Chains A and B, each alone.
Chain A
Amino acid sequence: MALPVDIEALDKAFSGIGVDEKSLISILTNSNEEHKRSLRKGSSKLFIEDENGFERWDQSSIKILKHQFNRFRDAVVLSLLHPWERDARLIEKAIRKGPKHYNVIVEVACTRSSDQLLGARKAYHSLFHHSIEEHLTHIKGRERKLLVALVSAYRYEGTGVNEDVAKSEAQILYEAINNGDKNKLLDHEDAIMILATRSKQHLQALYRHYSQSYGKTLAQDLEGEGILKDTVECLCTPQTYFTRVLEAAVKEDADEESKRALTRVIVTQKEQLVQEGFVPNKIQDILLGLYKDFLLASIASGDIK
């Protein structure tokens, strides 16, 4: 008979993000057939009683387990790939998977350096025989204009901001958001031009002027505007964006896509993550197995150049 503690351990081995490989080895290699049968009977999450008299593995659990076992693999691959290829593949996948994933495109386009983004564009050519812009033009949504513009940017990265221009452009954005039709924001040419062509330093100055002039942050004013808010955060306050993504990943009811973000963000941002408070404390508790070892080690080594 399987002890309740074993049944619990089996469930637990699959109930975080990643898989507790050590625990599985210890439970399963020490089980004879009878033991395993009672494990199956005891685990209502993974098995259901089949009418033909056996405990059948629940279909949806198989899918979940596949994701869980693949996390370590994905972390390894993402970590090993050349950053250009990595980012090109992230973008291509996001385009393919649809609107819910467009934030990944924004993330890559706006949080990488100009030369890193350029490298991703080159890698995209090699891998997919088209430019990112070309593939983006096939998406039907209203986000297209913004995404094409963001991905095409080769922003100036030096210092030196014209504060007057930053202030007046903050006003343009304010008026676009507050006086215009909020639904038409994604078509607002001036707003897109500002966000897609100005240097990050300029946009950060603009962000400051916005708060000073209007008493709320640009991000706050874009609450609910999905991809526009992501854009502004990635360009002006990337820590806010990444923290939000990581916290969504470790939430109780996080979906698969949110959880995948964990791998992506930790592997691609590990240098930045060394800062305190960036990574939710929950991560220690919710990660499992080799996947956990890999991610925590990534964060720990984040300041090794």
Chain B
Amino acid sequence: MATVSAPKQVSVKEDAEALRKACQGWGTDEKAIIAVLGRRNAAQRRQIRHVYEEIYQEDLIKRLESELSGHFEKAVYRWILDPPDRDAVLANVELKKSGNKHHVIVEISCTKNPEELLAIRRAYHARYKRSLEEEVAYHTKGDTRRLLVALVSAFRYYGEEINTTLAKSEAKKLHEAIKDKKFGNEDVIRILGTRSIAQLQATFNCYREQEGTSITKNLPKDSSDEYIAMLRMAVRCLKDPKKYFEKVLRRSIEGIGTDEDALTRVIVTRAEKDLKEIKELYHKRNNVPLDKAVDKETSGDYKDMLLTLLGNEV
């Protein structure tokens, strides 16, 4: 469930005016921006951008980019975009960085349903005049490339049917690949890249029954091998997206310093989906509510934005 509290009825015209007012003059009224945008769903945000442009003849996003800065600006920019567009932008940013773990590409291809992934691919066409898969193919190589291209190109069957015999045999194949340390072999890529989510879940369950431990536990943790780390991430996303995101949040907050990019990414991309359940998982695991942890570890307008997206009144 979503954590964002967007009222059912809004006046997008008033919202546009409020945002305009917040950006005029010497300073910027960040609180006003958070109060409006932090409480609107994707459809409403789209309408606000449209009306703003009609009335004031400028792009709201560009205006906000120029007025805001730092982690707050990044959060607002990502939040205000349409979800498929946002994911396309995040994917592109990640691909241009070198030495990255491809979190975004793995997340969007393994935690979204087929129609959502398609929408992202279309948004990528529109924005970058290239396909997502050719971009991924261009910026990666070897096993990493084969797995990532397979994952982003997949258009998985959406049905719930399971073939238990197949699940058992594919669980065996996965285990053999892991045992022989052939993590990038054809079977692995094929199974993870083509099976439906229901079939994969059945396969992971069979794996657990056959081997006594979950498949994620058998994949080397903290491997310096970029591919293995990514494979582990993909399996975890396919297996249990909410659990995966809880861990990303936990990791981003714990220890010294905060990984704002990861924190922003999870909150912004899940706030309208299942952040509520992820929050509950977080609370159970860490004995402290996520909101409290965010309050402690972040500050300023950035903090207020995150807390608002988490459903709080600031």
Residues of A within 8 A of B (CB): 118, 121-122, 125, 129-131, 133-134, 137, 148-149, 152-158, 160, 189, 193-194, 196-199
Q: How far is the CA of A148 from the CA of B190 in the complex (A)?
A: 10
| Chain A to chain B contacts (Cβ below 8 Å), 20 pairs | A122-B155, A125-B158, A130-B196, A131-B196, A133-B155, A133-B194, A134-B194, A137-B194, A152-B153, A153-B131, A153-B153, A154-B153, A155-B131, A155-B134, A156-B129, A156-B130, A156-B134, A160-B129, A193-B137, A197-B131
Q: In the complex, what residues of A have CB within 8 A of residue B83's CB?
A: none
Contacts A133-B193, A197-B134 known; A156 to B153 CB distance under 8 Å?
no
Residues of B within 8 A of A (CB): 118, 121-122, 125, 129-134, 137, 145-146, 149-150, 153-159, 161, 190, 193-196
Interface centre among B154, B194, B195 (most CB of A within 10 A): B194
Q: How far is the CA of A131 from the CA of B159 in the complex (A)?
A: 10
Q: In the complex, what residues of A have CB within 8 A of residue B125's CB?
A: 154, 156-158
Q: How far is the CA of A154 from the CA of B118 in the complex (A)?
A: 9
Q: Are A131 and B149 in contact (CB under 8 A)?
A: no
Q: In the complex, what residues of B have CB within 8 A of residue A133's CB?
A: 154-155, 193-194
Q: Are B134 and A131 in contact (CB under 8 A)?
A: no
Q: In the complex, what residues of B have CB within 8 A of residue A149's CB?
A: 149, 153
Q: How far is the CA of A243 from the CA of B122 in the complex (A)?
A: 33
Q: Are B154 and A152 in contact (CB under 8 A)?
A: yes
Q: How far is the CA of A154 from the CA of B129 in the complex (A)?
A: 12
Q: In the complex, what residues of A have CB within 8 A of residue B129's CB?
A: 156, 158, 160
Q: In the complex, what residues of A have CB within 8 A of residue B146's CB?
A: 189
Q: How far is the CA of A133 from the CA of B153 in the complex (A)?
A: 10
Q: How far is the CA of A189 from the CA of B148 in the complex (A)?
A: 13
Q: How far is the CA of A137 from the CA of B190 in the complex (A)?
A: 7
Q: In the complex, what residues of A have CB within 8 A of residue B118's CB?
A: 118, 154
Known: A148-B194, A156-B131. 18 other contacts (CB 8 A): A122-B155, A125-B159, A129-B157, A131-B154, A133-B154, A133-B155, A134-B194, A137-B194, A149-B153, A154-B121, A154-B125, A154-B132, A156-B129, A157-B125, A197-B131, A197-B133, A197-B137, A197-B149
Q: In the complex, what residues of A have CB within 8 A of residue B134's CB?
A: 155-156, 193, 197-199
Q: Are A154 and B133 in contact (CB under 8 A)?
A: yes
Q: Select which of A121, A131, A134, A154 is within 8 A of B131 by beta carbon.
A: A154
Q: Which chain B residue shows the least CB distance to A131?
A: B157
Q: Are B156 and A131 in contact (CB under 8 A)?
A: yes
Q: How far is the CA of A171 from the CA of B243 in the complex (A)?
A: 46
Q: Which chain A residue shows the least CB distance to B163?
A: A130
Nearest chain B CB to A64's CB is how many angstroms away? 38
Nearest chain B CB to A217's CB is how many angstroms away? 23
Q: In the complex, what residues of B have CB within 8 A of residue A160's CB?
A: 129
Q: Select which of A118, A129, A193, A199 is within 8 A of B161 by beta carbon.
A: A129
Q: Are B131 and A193 in contact (CB under 8 A)?
A: no
Nearest chain B CB to A56's CB is how many angstroms away? 47
Q: Which chain A residue shows the least CB distance to B195?
A: A134
Nearest chain A CB to B174's CB is how many angstroms away? 14
Q: In the complex, what residues of B have CB within 8 A of residue A130's CB?
A: 157, 196
Q: How far is the CA of A134 from the CA of B166 in the complex (A)?
A: 12
Q: Are B161 and A153 in contact (CB under 8 A)?
A: no
Q: How far is the CA of A130 from the CA of B196 in the complex (A)?
A: 8
Q: How far is the CA of A193 from the CA of B193 in the complex (A)?
A: 16
Q: How far is the CA of A132 from the CA of B63 in the complex (A)?
A: 45
Q: In the complex, what residues of B have CB within 8 A of residue A156's CB?
A: 125, 129-131, 134
Q: How far is the CA of A125 from the CA of B113 in the complex (A)?
A: 14
Q: How far is the CA of A199 from the CA of B118 in the complex (A)?
A: 17
Q: How far is the CA of A118 from the CA of B154 in the complex (A)?
A: 11
Nearest chain A CB to B198's CB is how many angstroms away? 11
Q: Which chain B residue shows the least CB distance to A134?
A: B194
Q: In the complex, what residues of B have CB within 8 A of residue A121's CB?
A: 155
Q: How far is the CA of A152 from the CA of B129 in the complex (A)?
A: 18
Q: How far is the CA of A53 from the CA of B153 in the complex (A)?
A: 65
Q: How far is the CA of A196 from the CA of B137 in the complex (A)?
A: 10
Contacts A134-B157, A154-B153, A197-B134 known; A189 to B145 CB distance under 8 Å?
yes
Q: How far is the CA of A133 from the CA of B133 in the complex (A)?
A: 16
Q: In the complex, what residues of B have CB within 8 A of residue A158's CB?
A: 125, 129
Interface centre among A130, A155, A197 (most CB of B within 10 A): A197
Nearest chain B CB to A60's CB is how many angstroms away? 39
Q: Which chain B residue shows the least CB distance to A128?
A: B157
Q: In the complex, what residues of A have CB within 8 A of residue B149's CB?
A: 149, 193, 197
Q: In the complex, what residues of B have CB within 8 A of residue A148's CB?
A: 150, 190, 194
Q: How far is the CA of A133 from the CA of B196 in the complex (A)?
A: 10
Q: In the complex, what residues of A have CB within 8 A of residue B196's CB?
A: 130-131, 134
Nearest chain A CB to B122's CB is how many angstroms away? 8
Q: How far is the CA of A134 from the CA of B199 in the complex (A)?
A: 11
Q: Are A199 and B130 in contact (CB under 8 A)?
A: yes
Q: Are A129 and B190 in contact (CB under 8 A)?
A: no
Contacts A153-B131, A189-B146 known; A125 to B153 CB distance under 8 Å?
no
Nearest chain B CB to A286's CB is how many angstroms away? 40
Q: How far is the CA of A156 from the CA of B138 in the complex (A)?
A: 15
Q: How far is the CA of A149 from the CA of B195 in the complex (A)?
A: 15
For the complex of A and B, the 4 pairs showing the least CB-CB separation, nearest first, are A152-B153, A197-B134, A133-B194, A193-B137
Interface centre among B130, B146, B154 (most CB of A within 10 A): B130
